[in-house]
Amino acid sequence: MFEKSKSTFKINFRPIVVIFLSFLFGIACARKLYSADVFYVVLVAVALLSILVYSILKRKFVFLALAFIFFFIGNGSYFLSYNNFLGKEFSNAQITGRVTDDITKEEGYYRLVIENVSADGEKVNNVTLYVWNPMEEIEVGDVVTYTGDLENVKLFTLNSFNSNALRSKVAYTSSVDGADLVLVSGGKTFDEKARAKIKEVLFENMSEYNAGVAFAVLTGDKTFVDETTEDAYRYSGIIHILTVSGLHVTFLIGLIAWVLKRCKVNRFVNFVLTFCLLLIYAYICGFAPSILRAMIMGLVLIAAGLFGKQYDGVSALSFAGLLTLFISPLSALDVGFLMSYACVGAIFVLQRPFAKVLKKFLPDKIADLMALSFATQIGILPFLASFFSKLNLLSFFTNLIVVPFFGILFPLLILLVLLVLIIPATGPVLIVAELGFEFTRIVAEFFATTNLQISLKPFDPITISILYLICLIASYFFMASSKFKFNCILYLTLVLGLFTLIKPELYSRGASISIIDYYGNYSAVIETKSGKTLCLGTPNFQENYFYAVRGIDGFDYVLSANKNIEGAEMIYSGEGFIDEFRYFSDGEIFVIEFDGLKILFANIEKISYNDKEKLQQLFSENKFDFAFVNGYDFSGVEAKVTASGGENDSANYSTSMMGNFTYNFDKNYAWGLD
């Protein structure tokens, strides 16, 4: 397996793999690199220097040129795609758009996504529209017209990318009162009709919770999956089943191949039919990025056999990734994209080495299955830490049971649904699918309720890079002696351990306050010199992201929140002392004293006359070191530092200019967190 060489080691890279990884890396780190984020500057410098040294030592100048060229092309693609996606904002514009089937009705309002949008005659991306006090029913396909504002969505919050906005092409948010909305009835598109019919068939012939899961499995729409069921799937480690992805497309291709083989179709017709059927399925699923990725990989596999070529999984993966990124560069920041490629890439890279070890004491088939599960879990581990915060140590065994079973259940579900769509009287046959999903639910709930769940802190980019580098060295793509591999892995593991120890010291410490704006709802997090943390107001943002950005383990105390925060002591209202803090709260107005500092924080969307009187009294009786009030006129206020949520010329800082930010009292300096 290893190529003989005078050199100590050799990396078996294909040009298309180099192009893909360089392009992906260039897009993913562009924003942080050009904002001078120290982690990303160090990461990029080390990566480019390593490529330069390797290329010179191995005389791989084509490799060097491809890596550097596509890295910088990736940088440029990020900024072009970012600006093109968001576009300009509109104020008091005439807006027209068509209602999609992404529509939610709540008490007193509708939340809906409109497409084919024009604002003052200009075509723009999709809009999330809130219709308050609706005067009539709004249906899928209706055309809405109103006068209002289009405000750009936030693509980044606390270093977290808004993947949902990218996938649904939603670049704006807007709102309108129902009385000011003009509604014209319209019709559904073919894919909307298809999804509606599939939903009708499932819910008429299956229990509500299993029908919701079946609909998610077929279309990727998790709207009808109840929260309890989704949590069971998530905490047991099989949430990927509810998101249409490569796993589903692989089973679908297998079903198509099985049918066509029995029909004795030649390989050229096989390719054309498979392509057409996958295209129809992708259309019904709304051309979800995960479907398109898997579709490209599957077609490359079939095409390789068609032209008598050997299938190379890593090259096919890179080709699919390149095509996706050329179409939508921002996909490089989408957790679904990253998780899919990390998962499949880890399988290609790690399954064989793991299987080789396991086959020494296990039967081949069991060893292959376990190696597949191990590789998958390692590939997606950084994303589980960043986006789900918990890992079930038994999820490895859950997947060993559920994934092979799902390989039978999913194709069977497709066949049964097609049968019922053609012959409605056969609806009762879906009881077979009902039993299958009931079994899956029981397994998920059993493993989800075990006590073998551990909390994970989000991985920073340097930790992720070292982890994946260790995986590459362990694979067959890194050609070297076992001793050399072992020494490299040991060295990188020690570097990772050392970095973990010194990482807390890399963050700016000292007394500070962080302001987080989550779509107009504000929270503040205070840190004392000794490291104690107090969160003010309800943290509607995902706390895990803040912990990662600030390098802390969690909140010590939370004051006046309407939800419990794991690991924090909850304080609900009033005034008093706790630890190093003296606190006073009156509704959403807080006064906190700590480390000889006094701060005022008010989470008020619109300042009423009563609120204004309270604030004026507090400012007249106190001199604050820091004061945050959204939309308040700070002229004449005695406060060292003032901050506001929107544009405010009387404030020193505002979230409209800086985004979410931290102000350090010792350094008298503020920096952005997004």
Q: Write a three-state SS string for 645-673.
A: CCCCCCCCEEHHHHCCEEEECCCCEEEEC
- Looking at the predicted structure, is the pLDDT value of residue 307 above 60? yes
Total tally of structural domains belonging to the chain: 4
- Looking at the predicted structure, is the pLDDT value of residue 75 above 90? yes
Please give the average per-residue pLDDT across 441-467, as a whole number: 76
- Looking at the predicted structure, is the pLDDT value of residue 168 above 50? yes
Q: In this structure, are residues 162 and 154 in contact, taking their beta carbons and an 8 Å threshold? A: yes
In a domain, 443, yes or no: yes
Q: In this structure, are residues 349 and 471 in contact, taking their beta carbons and an 8 Å threshold? A: yes
Asked if 420 and 537 sit in the same domain, the reply is no
Asked if 131 and 68 sit in the same domain, the reply is no
Asked if 541 and 619 sit in the same domain, the reply is yes
Name 28's Cβ contacts closer than 8 Å, sequence gap at least 6: 74, 332, 333
Asked if 318 and 425 sit in the same domain, the reply is yes
For 594-612, what is each residue's pLDDT tens digit?
Answer: 888 899 888 876 777 787 8
Residue 387, pLDDT score: 65
Asked if 314 and 329 sit in the same domain, the reply is yes
- DSSP string covering 271-301: HHHHHHHHHHHHHHTT--HHHHHHHHHHHHH
What's the CA gap between 329 and 82, in Å, rounded? Answer: 9
Which residue range is the domain that position 5 belongs to?
1-86
Q: SS3 of 576, please?
A: strand
- Looking at the predicted structure, is the pLDDT value of residue 229 above 70? yes
For 614-631, what is each residue's pLDDT tens digit?
Answer: 888 888 888 888 988 887
> For residue 56, what pLDDT band results from cuts at 50, 70 and 90?
confident
Asked if 133 and 223 sit in the same domain, the reply is no
In a domain, 482, yes or no: no
What's the CA gap between 86 and 124, in Å, rounded? Answer: 9
Residue 11, pLDDT score: 62
Asked if 209 and 315 sit in the same domain, the reply is yes
Asked if 238 and 324 sit in the same domain, the reply is yes
Residue 432, pLDDT score: 92
What's the CA gap between 627 and 493, in Å, rounded? Answer: 45
- Looking at the predicted structure, is the pLDDT value of residue 71 above 90? yes
Place of tokens 């598109």: 189
In a domain, 498, yes or no: no
Asked if 14 and 63 sit in the same domain, the reply is yes
In a domain, 378, yes or no: no
Asked if 659 and 521 sit in the same domain, the reply is yes
> For residue 310, what pLDDT band results from cuts at 50, 70 and 90?
low
For 585-595, what is each residue's pLDDT tens digit?
Answer: 887 888 889 88
Residue 413, pLDDT score: 92
Q: SS3 of 209, please?
A: helix
In a domain, 578, yes or no: yes
Please give the average per-residue pLDDT across 365-377, as a whole number: 81
What's the CA gap between 258 and 253, in Å, rounded? Answer: 8
Asked if 398 and 423 sit in the same domain, the reply is yes
For 116-165, what is each residue's pLDDT tens digit?
Answer: 999 998 999 999 999 999 888 888 889 999 999 998 888 887 777 888 88
Name 169's Cβ contacts closer than 8 Å, sequence gap at least 6: 115, 125, 126
Q: In this structure, are residues 602 and 615 in contact, taking their beta carbons and an 8 Å threshold? A: yes
Q: Letter for the amino acid at 73?
A: I
Q: Which of 184, 219, 249 finishes a domain?
A: 184
- Looking at the predicted structure, is the pLDDT value of residue 80 above 90? yes
Secondary structure of 505-534 as H, E, C letters: HHCCCCCEEEEEEECCEEEEEEECCCCCEE
- Looking at the predicted structure, is the pLDDT value of residue 83 above 80? yes
Task: Kindly report which listed range (266-270, 382-386, 438-442) carries the lowest average pLDDT score.
Answer: 382-386
> For residue 2, what pLDDT band results from cuts at 50, 70 and 90?
very low
- 244 token code pair: 């249409």
Start-end of H helices in 507-604? 543-550
In a domain, 108, yes or no: yes
CATH of the domain at 141: 2.40.50
What percentage of the chain reaches a pLDDT higher than 90? 17
What's the CA gap between 34 and 334, in Å, rounded? Answer: 20
Asked if 328 and 242 sit in the same domain, the reply is yes
What's the CA gap between 200 and 357, in Å, rounded? Answer: 49
Residue 671, pLDDT score: 78
Please give the average per-residue pLDDT across 308-319, as a whole number: 73
- 658 token code pair: 């800086």
Q: What is the DSSP letter of 8?
A: S
Residue 420, pLDDT score: 92
- Looking at the predicted structure, is the pLDDT value of residue 451 above 80? no
Task: Kindly report which listed range (185-199, 244-258, 643-657) carries the lowest average pLDDT score.
Answer: 643-657
What's the CA gap between 550 and 7, in Å, rounded? Answer: 43
- Looking at the predicted structure, is the pLDDT value of residue 70 above 90? yes
Q: How many CB atoms lie within 10 A of CB 247?
A: 21
Instruction: Tell which wins on pLDDT, 46 or 542.
Output: 46
Q: In this structure, are residues 646 and 656 in contact, taking their beta carbons and an 8 Å threshold? A: yes
For 468-507, what is each residue's pLDDT tens digit?
Answer: 888 878 777 777 777 877 888 888 888 877 777 766 665 5
Q: Which of 163, 184, 205 finishes a domain?
A: 184
CATH of the domain at 550: 3.60.15
Q: Letter for the amino acid at 540?
A: N
Helix (H), strand (E) at residue 159: none
In a domain, 244, yes or no: yes
What's the CA gap between 531 and 165, in Å, rounded? Answer: 35
In a domain, 358, yes or no: no
Average pLDDT of the chain, as a whole number: 82
Q: How far is CA 627 from CA 40, 155, 587, 623, in A?
A: 32, 27, 16, 10
Please give the average per-residue pLDDT across 38-49, as a whole number: 83
What's the CA gap between 436 and 407, in Å, rounded? Answer: 11
Q: Letter for the amino acid at 580?
A: E
Q: Which of 155, 184, 213 finishes a domain?
A: 184
What's the CA gap between 80 and 644, in Å, rounded? Answer: 30
